[in-house]
A and B are shown apart, each in its own frame.
Chain A
Amino acid sequence: QSALTQPRSVSGSPGQSVTISCTGTSSDVGGYNYVSWYQQHPGKAPKLMIYEVSKRPSGVPDRFSGSKSVNTASLTISGLQAEDEADYYCCSYAGSVYVFGTGTKVTVL
């Protein structure tokens, strides 16, 4: 199972929006609505931000939103804030196994 493809980095100024893509195949992202997104700050454990493509756990700001089209999932951060600077990983169910994305570093300029 190959890792899902994410851009290495994205950046934006405070208040702007950024979108991170996560491209897989019909065997993972395209085949199931079980895509989740995780935020990881340096030296910390990952934190769940989005699950089942577009659902937000309680406590996650509504600035974070998710979507999917065919084999590509996306995470959008609207109204970018300094604390959003972190690494982000997508993850997809792939029929009994899971696969993570390559990871994207979000920089707040």
Chain B
Amino acid sequence: QVQLVQSGAEVKKPGASVKVSCKSSGYTFISYYIHWVRQAPGQGLEWMGLINPSGGSTIYAQKFQGRVTMTRDTSTSAVYMDLSSLRSEDTAMYYCARARAWFGELDSWGQGTLVTVSS
């Protein structure tokens, strides 16, 4: 069955960076795009960007341009989301999710990774 398994919770200080992983199984890794979506405590979902695991191309939401980097490792079927210059407002649950097309729906989600930014 399709599974997206994310790395564990992180606690970071303001100004630091965090790298969250998302390991895929149960399907052909390069055939689906991976999106990253975050959710601050008690707030709604916020789209951060996506990566095409086939060629590595990315699209980022304007809000995160310059601070986020999404990469992939086809040998391990993993995608990584690196967010730098962390501030308290980045405290959130971060989800990866797969989509069958560039404009496709997010049909399977990871369990989420809680990132806490605190001094």
Q: Which residues of A are at the interface with B, using a C-beta cutoff of 8 A?
A: 1, 3, 32, 34, 36, 38, 40, 45-48, 51-52, 57, 89, 91, 93, 96-103
Contact = CB atoms under 8 A, between A and B. Distances in A.
5 contacts: A45-B110, A46-B37, A48-B106, A91-B47, A96-B102
A101 B44 CA distance: 8
A45 B47 contact: no
Given A45-B109, A100-B45, A101-B44, 5 more contacts: A38-B45, A38-B106, A45-B95, A45-B110, A96-B59
Main secondary structure of the interface of B (DSSP, over half): strand
A98 B103 CA distance: 8
A57 B61 contact: no
A36 B44 contact: no
Task: State the 7 A-B residue pairs at the shortest beta-carbon distance, nearest first.
Answer: A51-B105, A36-B105, A103-B44, A45-B109, A93-B103, A98-B47, A100-B45
B69 interface: no
Contact of B47 (A40, A99, A103): A99
Which of B50, B103, B109, B110 gathers the greatest number of chain A CB atoms within 10 Å? B103
Nearest to B101: A34
Interface residues of B, number: 23
B111 interface: yes
B95 A1 contact: no
A93 B102 CA distance: 9
Contact of A46 (B61, B104, B106): B106
A105 B23 CA distance: 31
B46 interface: yes
